[in-house]
Amino acid sequence: MANNKVNILLVEDNPMQTRLIQKLLAKSENPSFDVTSVETLGAALEQLERQASDLILLDLMLPDSQSLETFFRVKAQAPDIPIIVQSALDDVNLAARAVDKGAHDYLVKDRITSTSLIRSIRYSIERMRARSGEWASSMFHLAQQQFLKAAYIMDLDDNIRQRLLFPERAQIVALPFRRDQREQVETVFGYRVQHVLNMGPTKGGIRYHQGVDLGEVSALAMWMTWKCALMCLPFGGAKGGVRVDPTALSRAELQRLTRRYTSAFIGMIGPEIDIPAPDMGTDEQIMAWILDTYSQQVGYSVPAVVTGKPVVLGGSLGRKEATGRGLVYLVEEAARHLGIPLKNATAVVQGFGNVGASAARFLSECGVKIIAVGDVSTNLYNRRGLDVDSLTDYVDEHRVLKGYPEAETLETPEMLELECDILVPAALQTQITSENAGRIKCKILAEGANGPTTLEADEILSERGIFVLPDVLGNAGGVTVSYFEWVQGIQNFMWPLEEINRRLRDILTDAFARTLQRAQQNSVDMRTAAMIEGLHRVTQAKLMRGLFP
Ligand code: NAD
């Protein structure tokens, strides 16, 4: 599935049925569908050999093959592609037998609607995905490799190393929620992972994205552990997620899904247990619904159950923009260390959501010229500098950057490789890889996103002398102000914004200085140094607590 486009192979000899399916699928924008249609089994097998598909819609009665034989031949050719069988009303038994033999779903031709068709496609892709390893994620592999590298360099005790390689607790739930057409119930998967349980309660955001799986959430939980320890916060790492595209849901659907998620994990979260916060695809409104659902269940209002909630519900001043603000405090430290004046320096920012937009705003307040920004819809470029306030107004109105007038557009690889002083990845993981690291031309790579750089790319950047503010340090401003919010919630006390920003700067500056010192002393890159710094604290805590029983 590339860019949320699902490639369907439609095997159907009735042209009227083919046209109907094409018409029904064309109505959907998110996901959108590319349909290749063929009329015979022979043509289907040839097409499968030529080009990969995400799903096969299969009529069992074809001119050159009939009944279950059709299914078996297609299945043998494409064992890893989900198959939905289409059957006539009087052939439902045959379709049911195909499902028995491994088809993912069946549809009765006379009853197909756009809703039932798209739901069946989603459900079949989910079923296929559930068969592949939930842990088999490139992000989890990256998090584990980074950890093992740091563990090796610091000569970490083997017992501790093995205990930290996987999360201590993880739960997966199937979440049914009602779509706006009330008769339709959709089921998606939800996750909560707690990596280390002995540093205090666990803490970590909730991500809504179509790519979420157990491995991704576990990687994010692991990074949270190092981040909290590096900042000396009294938390272990956690993370949550739902495998869903939030942009395809209405506000009412998002609310129903969020409340169901909260209720499914009600025993696993709480101010003394595990405190969620926003991450990609979630925001302060989602936190408000979690707070409300949790409070309804326990019978009184519990603001400290989440952070990143609206200020009117006990959210902290400065939390919303804390990750971007913190990143810019760190860029100031890095620029001072490298002797780069920020006035008139240039920056490129990938991602214009919570982190990217506030990083762009605070960078431009420091006098930095933002020459390019990008989001899921487009990338914008203006050598003379983009106006961040006007971009923000545009996104407030249109949700995405696409269509913004005062800029050229360019492709993502070109944008990431622009010559600039500061490059801020603040969207997705694995953006800087061994493939493009040799062409990245920034002086400071300031990681707002989690996991934007692969292990191989790290080595290339290090050889090329690019200064990296690694994610566990770079985006730690968010969890730091989340910690302030949690403390304020427990004490029922509000701190002024100046105090929050002062404390934030103090904590980040201290972590930057410790990381830099360790990098210089141990001759390692900033990421490994940051991880070793965090790992030392976690190791000490584990050894002091001992092992039960
Ligand atoms: P967000 O949902 O507010 O914004 C995400 C941005 O990324 C949007 O502009 C979106 O259009 C863009 N995007 C999505 N898919 C893209 C694609 N394929 N190509 C280019 N851009 C794409 O999310 P956020 O909270 O800003 O989180 C961004 C990153 O920062 C994530 O990696 C998250 O884990 C990390 N992070 C967030 C926080 C926080 O406080 N929100 C804290 C620490 C780390």
Residue 279 CB less than 6 A away from ligand 1: yes
Question: Which token pair is 230?
Answer: 């590096």
Whole-number pLDDT of residue 162: 86
Q: Verify whether ligand 1 is closer than 6 Å to residue 242 (CB atom).
A: no
Instruction: Please tell me the distance from the alpha carbon of residue 364 to that of residue 477, in angstroms, as a whole number.
Output: 18
Is the C-beta atom of 31 inside 6 A of ligand 1? no
Ligand 1 centroid distance, CA of 448 (Å): 8
Q: What is the per-residue pLDDT for 279? A: 96
CA distance 419 to 511: 28
Q: What CATH number labels 322-478+510-532?
A: 3.40.50.720
Helix (H) or strand (E) holding 341: none
- Helices 284-298, 251-264: axis angle to 10 degrees equals 50
Can you tell me the distance from the alpha carbon of 273 to that of 58, in angstroms, rounded to the nearest whole number?
Answer: 48
Domain limits, the chain: 5-132, 169-313, 322-478+510-532
Catalytic residue numbers read: 239
Q: How many CB atoms neighbour CB 319 within 10 A?
A: 26
| Model pLDDT for residues 64-74, shown as the tens digit of each residue | 999 999 999 99
Residue 211 is classified by DSSP as: T
Please report, for residues 81, 128, 145, 243, the alpha-carbon distance to residue 132 in angstroms, rounded to integers and kept in the order given: 12, 7, 21, 15
Q: Mean pLDDT throughout 417-440?
A: 97
Three-point CA angle 456, 450, 274, nearest 5°: 135
* Identical fold between 169-313 and 322-478+510-532: yes
Distance in Å, CA 336 to ligand 1 centroid:
27
Closest CA to ligand 1's atom 39: 279
Residue carrying structure tokens 């304020």? 488
Mean pLDDT of the chain: 95
Give the pLDDT mean for 12-27.
94
Mutate to test the pocket of ligand 1, among 142, 354, 416 (most ligand atoms within 8 A of CB): 354
C-beta atoms surrounding 43 within 10 Å: 17
Close Cβ partners of 460 (under 8 Å, ≥ 6 residues apart): 434, 437, 438
What is the number of the ligand 1 atom nearest to the C-alpha of 429? 32
**Protein residue whose Cα sits closest to atom 23 of ligand 1:** 280
As a CATH number, domain 169-313 is 3.40.50.10860
With a cut of 50, say whether residue 2 has pLDDT above it: no
The model's pLDDT over 43-59, given as tens digits with 9 standing for 90+, comes to: 999 999 998 899 999 99
Distance 351 CA to ligand 1 centre (A): 6
| 432 beta partners | 453
* Cα separation, 193 vs 171, whole angstroms: 6
CA distance to 53, 226, 235, 391, 530, per residue, from 536 (Å): 47, 10, 15, 42, 10
439 Cβ contact list (under 8 Å, min separation 6): 417
The angle subtended at Cα 317 by Cα 316 and Cα 319, nearest 5°, is: 70
Where on the phi/psi map is residue 177: left (φ > 0), alpha (ψ -120 to 50), or beta?
Answer: beta
Does the domain formed by 5-132 have CATH 3.40.50.2300?
A: yes
Distance from residue 471's CA to the centre of ligand 1 (Å): 13
* DSSP characters over 261-283: HHHHTTTT-BTTTEEEEE-TT--
- The whole-angstrom separation of Cα 293 and Cα 301 is 10
The one-letter code for the residue type at 358 is S
Per the model's pLDDT, the better-predicted residue between 162 and 218 turns out to be: 218
Is 481 a residue whose pLDDT tops 90? Answer: yes
Residue nearest ligand 1's atom 4 by CA: 353
The residue-averaged pLDDT of 474-499 equals 97
Q: What is the position in ligand 1's atom list of the atom closest to the CA of 377? A: 11
Ligand 1 pocket residue status of 318, Cβ below 6 Å: no
Whether the per-residue pLDDT at 1 is higher than 60: the answer is no
Distance 525 CA to ligand 1 centre (A): 25
